[in-house]
A = this chain, B = another copy of it.
Amino acid sequence: MRLDVYFTPAELPPPATLTDRAVVVIDVLRATSTMVEALANGAKNIFAVATTDEAVKIAQNIGRDQTLLAGERKCVRIEGFDLGNSPLEMTREAVSGRQIVMTTTNGTAALAAVASARNVLVASLLNVDAVARELVEGDQSIGVVCAGREGRFALEDAICAGHLALRLYRRLGQRKNWSDAALAAAQLARRYVSSIERTLRRAAAGRALIELGFGGDVEYCARLDVHDIVPKYRDRQVAV
């Protein structure tokens, strides 16, 4: 199995080379954690779009009262939206059976960047083992793209990519065809395994969230394997 990790979307190869690969998208703080939480709590699907205008337009097309608008800019809920980008808002009560239209700063951009891939899986620490199990069964060539933060390396995403790599290694017993970043991510996951929450609080994204009062989100997003689901991204929608 070939495993490439891209610490930022800018490291991705040209879209055409992705078509026959499985691609995993990670944005631990917080887009993919929030998506996983929403779908685990019964949301029907999540439209992931780049801009606020696009989100509003899609919600109007579906029927504004039948959708939840979710998303953030600079970590804070977009004005007029029903929800921000917090996993703690995605309770069963709030989202069960609902369609969500979501736009976030880094996460939805990362999804759009890999839209050409055959198979796009959405991962966070909350569901990393489920994603690993599914990958082991199928794909011979895997790309893991970290959303990063404003185009830069984000420690929490690298750690999540590393947990995915370690779980693939445990099941397959080989890492011959791992990229440099896959090796590095696995080492980081191993190094921080007993202090994930503390590390996320110390990372740039975690510090910014805590400062804005979202410390509970950071704590929640640091949990491993809370949900046994593997959301897929297809036709701009994330669903289980």
Residues of A near any B CB (own CB < 8 A): 5-8, 10-11, 149, 151-155, 158, 179-181, 183-184, 187-188, 191-192, 202-204
Contact = CB atoms under 8 A, between A and B. Distances in A.
Contacts of A203: 180, 183
Q: Which of A155, A180, A187, A191 has the most CB of B within 10 A?
A: A180
A12 to B, nearest CB: 9
A191 B187 contact: yes
A180 B154 contact: yes
Contacts of A180: 149, 152-155, 158, 203-204
A188 B184 contact: yes
Copies of this chain per assembly = 2
A158 B136 CA distance: 29
B152 A11 contact: yes
Contact of A191 (B10, B151, B153, B191): B191
A173 B187 CA distance: 24
Contact of A187 (B8, B179, B187, B202): B187
Contacts of A204: 179-180
Given A5-B153, A153-B179, A187-B187, 20 more contacts: A6-B152, A7-B153, A8-B8, A10-B151, A11-B152, A11-B153, A149-B180, A152-B179, A152-B181, A153-B181, A154-B180, A155-B181, A155-B184, A158-B180, A158-B184, A179-B204, A183-B203, A187-B188, A187-B191, A188-B188
